[in-house]
Amino acid sequence: MPHPEAYLILRSAVAAALAAEGVGVPCQVGVMLTDDEGIRRLNREFRGVDAPTDVLSFPFNTLRPGEFDGSACERDPETGRILLGDMALSVPRCLAQGEEFGHGFAREAAYLAVHSLLHLLGYDHTQEGEDK
């Protein structure tokens, strides 16, 4: 069952991160709130890792970190918004991590949304120099 405030928290965090990255055009991000089993299945199917995780990102475009250029990005034909991609977030893991780190669900959900959005914008912590 999704946390009642989750979508509002995620929307605010994504909007703030887009502004901080200098993305000044309307964008769209798909959000899936799931449980640990649901995110484990996605992780196994798309990354080959048979374990749950907190958040997964599925970018629709190949972007260079810090150099957003939406001109070549896929757009929603009805709204004209740039389709950045999708994120999947495990609500139980988000709740547990928020408690573990002592800052609660809202802060953890915002952190995970920004982390995922940065992946959609081309950042990848598996590349040297792009960690954190």
| pLDDT single digits (tens) 74-128 | 999 999 999 999 999 999 999 999 999 999 899 999 999 999 999 999 998 765 5
pTM for the whole thing?
0.88
Looking at the predicted structure, is the pLDDT value of residue 73 above 70?
Answer: yes
- Residue 37 one-letter amino acid: E
State the Cα–Cα distance between residues 69 and 82, nearest whole angstrom.
Answer: 10
Q: Which of 30, 2, 22 is nearest to 67 (CA)?
A: 22
Under 8 Å between Cβ of 106 and 9: yes
Strand order in the sheet with 27-34: 27-34, 82-90, 55-59
Domain boundaries of the chain, sorted by first residue: 6-70+86-120
**Which residues in the chain belong to E strands, given as ranges?**
27-34, 55-59, 82-90
Q: What would the CATH number be for the domain defined by 6-70+86-120?
A: 3.40.390.30
